[in-house]
Amino acid sequence: MDPVEPPVRQLRLVVEAEDYEAALAFYRDVLGLPQRVAYAEGDDERVAILDAGRATLEIANPAHKRAIDDVEVGRQVAGHLRVAFEVTDAAGATARLVDAGAELVAPPTRTPWGSLNSRLDAPAGLHVTLFQELGGEEGVPPGVRAEPGPDGGPVRPDGA
């Protein structure tokens, strides 16, 4: 049996960057997001689409958002939107991004759910989390229950 194709095929986050060149260099060349395509129209209008791998949309209620800020930073810092990138080396990637101009908000910190997370304020006004899964995949911290999916069954971190 063929798996059902999900109705949404891609999550694309569009970020307006006043300094387009600096933001593009930071996310493409320093963070390492491959450029899929880029377009220009006239002298002013430019866009680049960078591949960020698998995309998910994490919906959090205010209490959870505050709890994550407390664990990763020790205080409330993130606004309504925070962009998180899974990397293979959180400490190394954090150092590279800081060297390229990001402002370190919190150094790589081990979380109760088994990841190493850092926080940065990055070009184009984004508040960024870099996270490295230390156990290989997303974990659930002790004392936290996994909620069932819409069909009432369990939902695994890989979405299966």
**CA separation (Å) from 150 to 2, 5, 155?**
21, 17, 9
**CA separation (Å) from 94 to 30, 70, 101, 123?**
10, 19, 11, 14
AA identity, residue 13 = L
What superfamily in CATH does domain 20-133 come from?
A: 2,3-Dihydroxybiphenyl 1,2-Dioxygenase, domain 1 (3.10.180.10)
Report pLDDT for 146. Answer: 64
CB 73 within 8 A of CB 106: yes
Report pLDDT for 8. Answer: 82
Which position has the token pair 């695994």? Answer: 156
Cβ partners under 8 Å of residue 25, min gap 6: 100
Average pLDDT (80-94) is: 95
Burial of 9 (0-12, 13-18, 19+ CB in 10 A): exposed
Half-sphere exposure of residue 6: CA atoms within 13 angstroms, side-chain side? 6
pLDDT band for position 154 (cuts 50, 70, 90): low
Structural tokens at position 13: 């986050």
pTM: 0.81
pLDDT in tens, 30-73: 999 999 999 999 888 999 999 999 998 899 999 999 999 999 99
Return the domain boundaries, the chain: 20-133
More confident residue, 64 or 9: 64
Nearest by Cα to 126 from 71, 50, 62, 63: 50
**Could you give the CA distance from residue 16 to residue 145 in angstroms, rounded to a whole number?**
37
pLDDT in tens, 88-140: 999 999 999 999 999 999 999 999 889 999 999 999 999 999 999 998 656 55
**Could you give the CA distance from residue 47 to residue 1 in angstroms, rounded to a whole number?**
40
Cα pseudo-dihedral 62, 66, 71, 75, rounded to 10: 170
Report pLDDT for 99. Answer: 98
